[in-house]
């Protein structure tokens, strides 16, 4: 009887250790992926911040070179303020927050489009070194944004798989790890804006 009781306790203890080990492993895996999602999001924000700064500098260069078009600078500064005012972190990446962030960035893209219309009226801008340098940097940043968005979506997908797969889904529910959302695909979203076409007209 004693031997059976000891054996039963040993089996329960062994199963408890397995469960504890599995739980620790699942929890740590979820924490690691959660941190990677946050890191990927910071990369996305950094590239959008760089883009906003470059667009503002480009607008300032246009106004200075043309000695006019000050209204476009005001438009860009206002759009930049809205775009940089929407900040998120890895813990509040809800569908509504992502949409709010994207709307602010679309507003910034609209300001860039209006700026490009002004640029078309002043072909001499292409001979200004500062303008050309900013143009090149902005084109490169558009490519970096596209890459950062793809990397972020891939990391969100990895995280979400971990949250949904058994047995980690049990521990995800216990410890409050919820699914995250990425950027939704839109027509042409997988391609960076080609600013070269605008500048080379």
Mean pLDDT, residues 13-27 taken together: 75
Token reading at 70: 């000050």
In this prediction, residue 162 carries a pLDDT of: 92
Range name among 21-25, 61-65, 144-148 with the lowest pLDDT average: 21-25
Full set of structural domains in the chain with CATH: 2-199 (1.20.1440.20)
Confidence tier at 10 by pLDDT (50, 70, 90): confident
Mean pLDDT of 30-37: 92
The pLDDT value recorded for residue 43 is 93
Size (the chain), residues: 201
Say which residue, 9 or 79, is predicted with more confidence: 79
What is the value of pTM for the model shown?
0.79
Tally Cβ neighbours within 10 Å of residue 135: 22
Q: Compute the distance between CA of residue 149 and CA of residue 45 in angstroms, rounded to an integer.
A: 10
Q: Using a CB cutoff of 8 Å and minimum separation of 24, what contacts does 131-138 make?
A: 131/58, 131/61, 131/62, 131/65, 134/54, 134/57, 134/58, 134/61, 135/58, 135/195, 135/199, 137/54, 138/51, 138/54, 138/55, 138/58, 138/195
Angle at 183 between CA 177 and CA 189, to 5 degrees: 165
Q: What is the pLDDT of residue 87?
A: 82
Distance CA 105, CA 98 (A): 11
Burial 160-189 (b: 16+ CB within 10 A, else e): bebbeeeebbebbeeeebeebebbeeeeee
Do 120 and 198 touch, CB atoms closer than 8 A? yes
Burial class (CB in 10 A: 0-12, 13-18, 19+), 158: middle
Q: In the prediction, which pLDDT does 186 show?
A: 59
CA 183, CA 95: separation in Å to the nearest integer? 9
- What is the tens place of the pLDDT at every residue in 88-142? 877 778 888 888 999 999 999 999 998 888 888 888 888 889 988 998 999 999 9
Mean pLDDT (whole number) for 64-87: 86
Q: What is the pLDDT of residues 162-197, one digit of tens each?
A: 999 888 888 888 888 989 988 886 544 444 444 444
- pLDDT at residue 198 greater than cutoff 60: no
Rounded to an integer, what distance in angstroms lies between the CA atom of residue 102 and that of residue 62? 26
139-164 per-position pLDDT tens digit:
999 999 999 999 999 999 999 999 99
54-78: average pLDDT: 87
- Helix, strand, coil share of the chain (percent; to 5): 80, 0, 20
């Amino acid at each position: 009887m004693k031997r059976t009781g000891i054996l039963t306790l040993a089996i329960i203890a062994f199963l408890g250790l397995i469960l504890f080990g599995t739980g620790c492993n699942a929890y740590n895996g979820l924490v690691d992926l959660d941190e990677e999602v946050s890191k990927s999001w910071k990369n996305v924000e950094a590239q959008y911040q760089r883009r906003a700064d470059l667009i503002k500098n480009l607008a300032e260069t246009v106004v200075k070179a043309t000695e006019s078009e000050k209204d476009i600078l005001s438009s860009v500064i206002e759009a930049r303020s809205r775009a940089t005012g929407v900040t998120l972190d890895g813990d509040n990446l809800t569908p509504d927050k992502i949409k709010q962030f994207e709307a602010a960035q679309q507003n910034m893209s609209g300001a860039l489009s209006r700026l490009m219309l002004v640029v078309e009226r002043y072909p001499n801008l292409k001979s200004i070194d500062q303008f050309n340098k900013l143009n090149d940097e902005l084109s490169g940043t558009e490519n970096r944004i596209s890459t950062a968005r793809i990397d972020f979506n891939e990391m969100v997908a990895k995280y979400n798989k971990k949250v949904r797969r058994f047995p980690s889904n049990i521990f995800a529910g216990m410890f409050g790890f919820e699914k995250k959302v990425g950027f939704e695909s839109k027509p042409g979203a997988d391609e960076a804006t080609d600013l070269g076409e605008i500048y080379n007209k």
